[in-house]
Every structure is written in C-alpha cells, then in structure tokens.
Amino acid sequence: QKEVEQNSGPLSVPEGAIASLNCTYSDRGSQSFFWYRQYSGKSPELIMSIYSNGDKEDGRFTAQLNKASQYVSLLIRDSQPSDSATYLCAVHPAGGTSYGKLTFGQGTILTVHP
Amino acid sequence: GAGVSQSPSNKVTEKGKDVELRCDPISGHTALYWYRQSLGQGLEFLIYFQGNSAPDKSGLPSDRFSAERTGGSVSTLTIQRTQQEDSAVYLCASSLEGSQPQHFGDGTRLSIL
C-alpha cells in the first residue's frame, strides 16, 4: 500500500462545477496535510494546509480532513479553466526519524473545460 | 519577499560529468529540502536539512548524490559521475521549520546526454 494515495485521474469537470479531489494516507499518526497545485512545467504551489478534523475554507477551495478515516479531500467550487493542473496531496508524518519529510501522492490531473 | 531561488534553471551535461545545483531558501526558513521529479512522475524526497541538526539523507538514491548546507542558508546538491537516469527536475523547498508548509523554488531541469 502506498503511503499517500490519490484518486486516479484524470478528472474532467465543466466550468462552474465542483471538482472533488481525494487522498488517503497510511500513517495514522500524521498531523499535517497539504494540497499543492502544479501547472505543467512549473513547480508545486501550496494552496491549502489543514491540521485538524473538519473543513477549512479559503475562497473557492475547501479542504476536508477526517483523521479517523485517514482521508483528506479538496473541493474546488465554481471551477475555472485556470484551475486545470495537477493537484498533489502531501502528508507530514507523526515524527521520529521521518520528521520534516513530506510524503506526496502521485497527483490527480484536473481539467476544467469551458 | 523573495521566494526560494534555484540555479541554474536548466543544465545540460554529458554522462559521467559532475554537476552542482544551488538553492537559496526563503530568508528565515530553517528547514530546507531537495526533491526530484522525473517526467510524469511524483515528487521523490532526496534530503532534508533542519537548522544545525544532522541532515536526513534517507532519500538519496546512491552515493553519487550528496548535499551540503553552508551557514544554515544556501544549499548545494552535487551529483557525481552523472547517469542518464539522473535526468529530472530537481526541486528545492524551504519552510520555517520542519512541520510547516514547504515552499518550492522553480527547479533545475537537468538533462544528461
């Protein structure tokens, strides 16, 4: 089992729709969770961080965390073509020798079509 | 303020040559990370520096790879006797400290002929 798994893509949604991106992780003690957006040929850009159970909203983005289910998701409301990118889920482990080392999922490619 | 700065942005070299990649983190960030991303692949962790602590080198793929961080700021990733499989984008990131969000530089695209 991969440490961080994302729903396989690519995901295609029409402009204005809600895009839902999902991620599960295996380390039950993980404490910090991040979503990065990566445009083709560019470096990852942090768009959301979440540390406690529940929802966290920032503009059109909502991150949801459920530690009991080891599940984190990203919702993008009113999707725009400019949201088309690869979305990376990253999980920070509980500590010990892995402290500081983010584990990334393979990414989900999102395409928003007009 | 300035973000993470990496140089060179592109590097083309012949197989067997040594290369040095540089990363200048965000001012005040104590943690610095190197990742590698091959074409169409995810991010592969290479090495992590936190302050004056011994670096976490657990991701370095072979002893041809090494990294140092001088004065707790600038870092250099060195690849000796490069191989074609070393071709990738090498990304550097920094954070305030180990558990905080990481911010990435634009990367160095390394091509081995």
User: pLDDT tens for residues A73-109?
Assistant: 999 999 999 999 999 999 987 665 555 678 899 999 9
CA B60 – CA B15 distance, rounded (Å): 19
CA distance B32 to B76: 11
Partner B contacted by A42 (CB < 8 A): yes
Cis peptide, bond prior to residue A114, ω within 30 of zero? no
Closest by Cα among B58, B61, B46, B60 to B93: B46
Q: Are B48 and B33 in contact (CB under 8 A)?
A: yes
Confidence of residue B53 (pLDDT cuts 50, 70, 90): confident
Contact check, Cβ <8 Å, A100/B48:
yes
Does B65 score more than 90 pLDDT?
Answer: yes
Task: Measure the CA–CA gap between A71 and A66, rounded to whole angstroms.
Answer: 5
Does A7 touch chain B if contact means CB atoms closer than 8 Å? no
Locate B3 and state its tokens. 């973000």
Q: Please state, in angstroms and rounded to a whole number, the distance separating the CA atoms of residues B14 and B113.
A: 5
pLDDT digits (tens, 9 = 90+) for A3-54: 899 987 799 999 999 999 999 999 888 889 999 999 999 999 999 999 999 9
Kindly give the residue spans of alpha helices, DSSP state H, lying in chain A: none
